[in-house]
Amino acid sequence: PSIRRRGKPSNGLSLRNTRGKQKGRLRDKRQFHNNGGIELDRIISIDYIKGMLYSVPAILLAITLHEFAHGYVSYRLGDPTPKREGRLTLNPLAHLDVVGTLCLLLFGMGWAKPVRINPGSYKNSRIGTMLVSLAGPLMNYLLAFLSLLVFGLSGLYGHGFGEWFSYLALINIGLGTFN
């Protein structure tokens, strides 16, 4: 008689007893748990935890400086709105949107609180708006360049902290490109 287990085995093994012979096959957990849910081996993986520990501070820094750059350029062009709303700060909590940050961490796509501006405060509203719009991505590209520079120098001198700068560079390139 054939014995089949219903449900998902916790260890990723699929065992089938056929006509007295026991057949055991090890299936890849990703294939076996192909239900669109979170994969247990991905959560428990040391590489995944290491990636999250590197990514979270890099994401916070990238988003904070990106939004700060928008607000700073707007303020320098004569708009008091970012200062009045408390957006001229390097405190990440002033720039993070809770839902957007969770989506970024869980799905790789997210958003921050947009910096409100008043283009009527600029001498030339069209050019001012363009400069404010470019400030965030340019800040990200500058951070990516500096991160890659530090990453390259850390490789020359053998420091272990350089890997974090590669994460910072990739996140900033992505944020600067897709903003």
27: DSSP letter:
P
Of 129, 133, 91, 98, the C-alpha closest to 112 is: 98
- How would you class 116 by CB atoms within 10 Å of its CB: exposed for 0-12, middle for 13-18, buried for 19 or more? middle
**Residue 18, pLDDT score:** 47
SS3 112: strand
Q: Who's near 5: CB < 8 A, 6+ residues apart?
A: 14, 15
Q: Return the active site residues.
A: 67
Model confidence pTM above 0.75: no
Per-position pLDDT tens, the chain of length 179 = 555 545 544 444 444 444 544 444 444 444 444 555 555 555 568 887 888 888 889 999 999 999 999 999 999 999 999 999 999 999 999 999 999 988 887 887 889 999 999 999 999 999 999 999 999 999 999 999 999 999 988 877 666 678 889 999 999 999 999 88
The reported pLDDT for the residue numbered 129 is 97
Q: How far apart are CA 112 and CA 92, in angstroms?
A: 10
pLDDT of residue 160: 66
Beta carbons of 109 and 119 less than 8 angstroms apart: no
